[in-house]
Amino acid sequence: MGIKIKSMKQSDFKDNETLELFKETGGNILLTTVDDVINWGRSNSLWPLTFATSCCGIEMMAAGAARHDFARFGFEVYRASPRQADLIVVAGTIVRKMAPVLKRLYDQIADPKYVIAMGACAVSGGPFFYNTYSVIRGVEHVIPVDVYIPGCPPRPEALLYGVMQLQRKVKSESIMNMRDYDREHLEGTIPPKYKLNDSQSE
């Protein structure tokens, strides 16, 4: 039994097995049914935060505008407040000065929350990997990432593919083993060389 995404055929997803394995079967009929209902709701109303730090943000806006219109898939509307958002699309370069702000925005989002790293900059530092004193090489040093979308910048179609992969990931969740966001927060993913000084990392 695969994870169904309404707007996309199962065969159109590359690398199906990883996410299928993600979904732990078992449990009783009642719980899996509850899961299905909850995941249906969550995955079809993922609202992204209005957050774009550079050029990739333009593609993200294009994905939200009429031609590509990712509202079709439930990414309804950009929210200007993290309190109302479910998802951060990190669209752009994150520099050392921006990192604490991003971390704070992520912390302000209510659970469950998801992160898409869009573009080479957010994935690994991209074009700014070498010879820079300021760029964070990959947003996973600051917050945990669910889906990586490569490209510089990725086309809006690539973002659509990425958000549908995220929908599949959301659909593989179960209330039996919820993600422990507090734990993730405490363990932190910031390696020592990026330790932000005390005043910034509240």
Query: Which chain residues interact with other proteins by CB under 8 A?
Result: 96-97, 129-134, 193, 197, 200
**Any bridge partners for residue 8, and if so which?**
5
Between 40 and 128, name the residue whose CB sits nearer to other proteins.
128
Lay out the sheet containing 87-91: strands in order across.
Answer: 87-91, 114-118, 147-149
How many residues are listed for the chain in this entry?
202
Between 5 and 121, name the residue whose CB sits nearer to ligand SF4.
121
SS (HEC) of 138-172: CHHHCCCCCEEECCCCCCHHHHHHHHHHHHHHHHC
Using the rule CB under 6 A, is 93 a contact of ligand SF4?
Answer: yes
Binding residue for ligand SF4, selected from 117, 121, 136, 160, defined by CB under 6 A: 121
Minimum Å gap between C-beta 128 and ligand SF4 is 7
Q: Which of other proteins, ligand SF4, none does residue 97 bind to, with CB < 5 to 8 Å depending on kind?
A: other proteins
Contact 68, 156 (CB under 8 A): yes
Q: Determine the Cα–Cα distance for residues 68 and 184; give it in Å rounded to an integer.
A: 34
Q: Which of other proteins, ligand SF4, none does residue 183 bind to, with CB < 5 to 8 Å depending on kind?
A: none
Q: Which of other proteins, ligand SF4, none does residue 126 bind to, with CB < 5 to 8 Å depending on kind?
A: ligand SF4
Cα separations in angstroms, 5 against 68, 164, 171? 18, 7, 9
Q: Which of ligand SF4, other proteins, none does residue 14 bind to, with CB < 5 to 8 Å depending on kind?
A: none
Between 3 and 98, name the residue whose CB sits nearer to ligand SF4.
98
Using the rule CB under 6 A, is 102 a contact of ligand SF4?
Answer: no
Contact 166, 114 (CB under 8 A): yes
* Residues near ligand SF4, by CB under 6 A: 54-56, 92-93, 119-121, 126-127, 152-153
